């Protein structure tokens, strides 16, 4: 038997403690399993096998697979906020603020391409949000940053819709190239909305009418026109060379 006291003095954790289950360890193991095997490969039984425990032991830490998937999204977002490049409020103007947010989300997507589709597919506390996004904290930070920089409520909503549509569309395509399954996902029907769930997100609550308005057709046409205008400039630039 080894010298446990000497191991502690050397800074080594006791083996029994290092193997003890926790919610954080379960979530991290689930994310690692998805990274290695894809989202469809995750089950409580397989995760238990990875951790060397029976599947039932996992239910002491998560109520089931659906709660586990939501916890994975929360973990991904926490990883993004821990990125020192990300600012939760504009420091060098709104464009720098949005560039940092976009690159932060992209770094998460590239680090965990198999799990990233969960960010857009999991039900939120605001099922009316368009485009849908699991992290209302991210939405609140986005809206607050732009309104602090002089955007009106209407302009901030329009910016959220355009920016998020671009970001999610591009990154879902990018992770699909890296092997992620972005086909039809097992998305739950949203539960009955609890108004108190929005208490930590006053801007999301205030701007709900605009954020819930389905303007998909109009926004598609506007985005297409903007793209065609950009391609006209590209064509002209190349002709003038």
Q: Decide if 105 contacts 170 (C-beta within 8 A).
A: no
40: tokens are 């469809």
- Do residues 180 and 114 make contact, with C-beta atoms less than 8 angstroms apart? yes
Backbone angles phi and psi of 67, in degrees to 5: -65, -35
**What confidence score (pLDDT) does residue 118 get?**
94
For residue 10, the model assigns a pLDDT of: 59
Q: Is 180 exposed, middle or buried (0-12, 13-18, 19+ CB in 10 A)?
A: buried
The structural domains of the chain, ordered by start, are: 23-184+205-240 (1.10.357.10)
Q: Which of 29, 36, 44 is nearest to 112 (CA)?
A: 36
Say what angle helices 153-177 and 94-111 make with each other, to 10 degrees: 30
Q: What DSSP element (H or E) covers 10? A: none
Q: What pLDDT does residue 193 have? A: 64
| DSSP state letter for 184 | S
Residue 220 pLDDT? 76
Whether 127 contacts 209, CB under 8 Å: no
Q: Is the pTM of this model over 0.75?
A: yes
Give pLDDT, residue 191: 52
Task: Report how far apart, in Å, the C-alpha atoms of 153 and of each of 111, 143, 202 are.
Answer: 33, 8, 12
Q: Which of 193, 195, 175 is nearest to 183 (CA)?
A: 175
Q: Say if CB 75 and CB 27 are below 8 A apart.
A: yes
Contact 128, 211 (CB under 8 A): yes
Tell me how far apart the alpha carbons of residues 115 and 164 are, in angstroms, rounded to a whole number. Answer: 18
pLDDT at position 133 is: 85
CB 47 within 8 A of CB 33: yes
- The separation between CA 205 and the C-alpha centre of its own chain, rounded to angstroms, equals 20
Given CA atoms 71, 73, 74, 79 in this order, what sign does their dihedral have?
Answer: positive
Instruction: Calculate the dihedral angle through the C-alpha atoms of 93, 96, 101, 103, rounding to the nearest 10 degrees.
Output: 180
**What's the rounded Cα separation, in Å, for the pair 44 and 55?**
6
From first to last of the 241 residues of the chain, give the pLDDT tens digit: 444 444 445 565 544 444 689 999 999 999 999 999 999 999 999 999 999 999 999 999 999 999 999 999 999 999 999 999 999 999 999 999 999 999 999 999 999 999 999 998 888 778 889 888 889 999 999 999 999 999 999 999 999 999 999 999 999 999 999 999 886 544 444 455 677 889 999 999 999 999 999 887 888 788 889 888 888 888 888 787 7
């Amino acid at each position: 038997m080894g010298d446990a006291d000497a191991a502690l003095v050397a800074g080594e954790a006791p083996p029994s403690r290092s193997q003890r289950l926790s919610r954080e360890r379960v979530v991290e193991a689930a994310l690692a399993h998805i990274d290695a095997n894809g989202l469809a490969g995750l089950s409580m039984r397989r995760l238990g096998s990875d951790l060397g425990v029976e599947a039932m032991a996992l239910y002491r830490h998560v109520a089931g697979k659906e709660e586990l998937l939501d916890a994975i999204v929360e973990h991904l977002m926490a990883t993004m906020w821990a990125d020192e490049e990300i600012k939760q409020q504009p420091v060098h103007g709104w464009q720098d603020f949005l560039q940092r947010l976009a690159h932060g989300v992209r770094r998460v997507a590239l680090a965990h391409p198999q799990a990233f589709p969960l960010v857009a597919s999991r039900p939120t506390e605001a099922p009316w949000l368009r485009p849908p996004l699991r992290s209302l904290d991210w939405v609140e930070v986005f809206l607050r940053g732009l309104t602090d920089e002089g955007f009106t409520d209407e302009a901030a909503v329009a910016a959220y819709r355009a920016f998020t549509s671009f970001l999610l569309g591009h990154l879902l395509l990018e992770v699909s190239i890296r092997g992620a399954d972005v086909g039809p996902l097992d998305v739950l029907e949203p539960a009955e909305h609890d108004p108190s769930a929005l208490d930590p997100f006053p801007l999301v609550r205030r701007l709900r009418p605009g954020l819930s308005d389905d303007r998909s057709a109009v926004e598609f046409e506007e985005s297409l026109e903007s793209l065609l205008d950009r391609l006209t400039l590209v064509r002209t630039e190349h002709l003038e060379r």
